[in-house]
Amino acid sequence: MIKDDKKTEQEKDADSTIPSEPVRIRVVGVRCRPGWPAEHFDTGALTLSDGEWVIIPTDHGIEVGQVRGTPIEITIPEDKRPPRIERLASTYEIEQYYNNIEREKRAWQVCAEKIRALGLSMKLVRVESFYNGSKIIFYYSADDRVDFRELVRELVRELKCRVEMRQIGVRHEAKMVGGIGNCGRPLCCASFLRTFDPISIRMAKAQNLPLNPNKISGLCGRLLCCLTFEYDTYVELIKKMPSLGKSCDTPSGEGKIIRQNVLRQTVTVALSSGGEAEFSKKELDDHRRGGKSAQKKHKAPAAGKNGKGKGQARPSSQQATEEPGKGAKPRKGRKKRRSRGNKKRKGQRPRGKGSGKQKTGKD
């Protein structure tokens, strides 16, 4: 049985890795609280319009929400399919929704007073009440751990329900509170982001951004979330460009690269003759290819020992001494050596037969 269970788990894992087929659905944005970002849900067979009240599923049960916008059709993988709207909300459920909002406002006032009375170093960020009123969650931020046991006891005694305290970081605080960023638009985390990706200063350097904390930090005091949006694109584009500090040959002369414009694919070169010039990557590539082709075209062949080109084959000894239709000719060097051997030396008689005076008959 154990082997069968393991096999079944492996089969499930294999099935989960198989990409699911895309499906065509209609989605619409639904807002659970005023000021909260709208979340997308599958409309199913419902025909909805802007402003209608619906019942949606959440992590802690059902909630009442209001439709924002009109439904649109999209194609999405089956495993990425959003949750489906259950049904339209009734009048009683809409009234209960507004009662919960008033209950959350009262819980906020009670909690803020208790925090000041107990002298706790914590900042209340959000209060969220379940639809059925069984539980209230208090979100707060603090620099250190806070002993809120006495606070919880007093809140339970006052509100007559279960109470949960959740500590959040500065990023989640900015997401819940919202605001306007340096770009003049609403914060990305409060608008459409659902998770926070890790961000490093390396992303700002890759995008040639000034390393000024006031320029690359958000309202939360951390690095901007938007640094991750185009980081992968910048990394791919930088791979195709010459690196900073590299010497290069340009149409205006030799120089050194001092700046890069990744999106425009241009570089600024400090020329050795003085001054700066901007060139595109295509101009530098064309200039480099043109220089190489010109060098190959006008380059003279290297002379060998016999005065001929380096790539030419040397003639053989037989070709050098013979000509078509004629016999072989002796080399001049050998002829000189033979003539030297036949010269008479002083004080020596010539060697060989017939040398010396011929004898006559009278002798």
Each residue of 89-134: pLDDT tens digit? 999 999 999 999 999 999 999 999 999 999 999 999 999 999 988 8
Residue whose tokens read 């603090």: 142
Report whether pLDDT(164) > 90.
Answer: yes
Whole-angstrom distance, CA of residue 358 vs CA of residue 363:
10
| Alpha-carbon gap, residue 56 to 42, rounded angstroms | 10
CATH number for the domain that contains residue 126? 3.30.300.20
Average pLDDT in the 221-243 region? 89
Residues 146 and 190 in one domain: no
Give the mean pLDDT of the chain. Answer: 80
Is position 51 within any domain?
Answer: yes
For range 232-254, the mean pLDDT: 87
- Could you tell me if residue 196 is inside a domain? yes
State how many domains the chain has: 4
- Domain range for 44 is 23-89
Domain-ending residue, one of 122, 148, 168: 168
Q: Kindly state whether residue 121 falls inside one of the protein's structural domains.
A: yes
- Pick 174 or 296 by higher pLDDT: 174
Between 139-143, 250-254, 325-329, the lowest mean confidence (pLDDT) is in 325-329
Residue 361 falls within a domain, yes or no?
no
Examine residue 355 and state whether it is found in any structural domain, yes or no. Answer: no
Domain-ending residue, one of 68, 89, 110 = 89
Tell me the C-alpha to C-alpha distance, in Å, between residue 355 and each of 338, 339, 345, 346, 363.
18, 17, 14, 15, 17
Q: Of 72, 89, 106, at which residue does a domain stop?
A: 89
Whether residues 163 and 207 fall in one domain: no
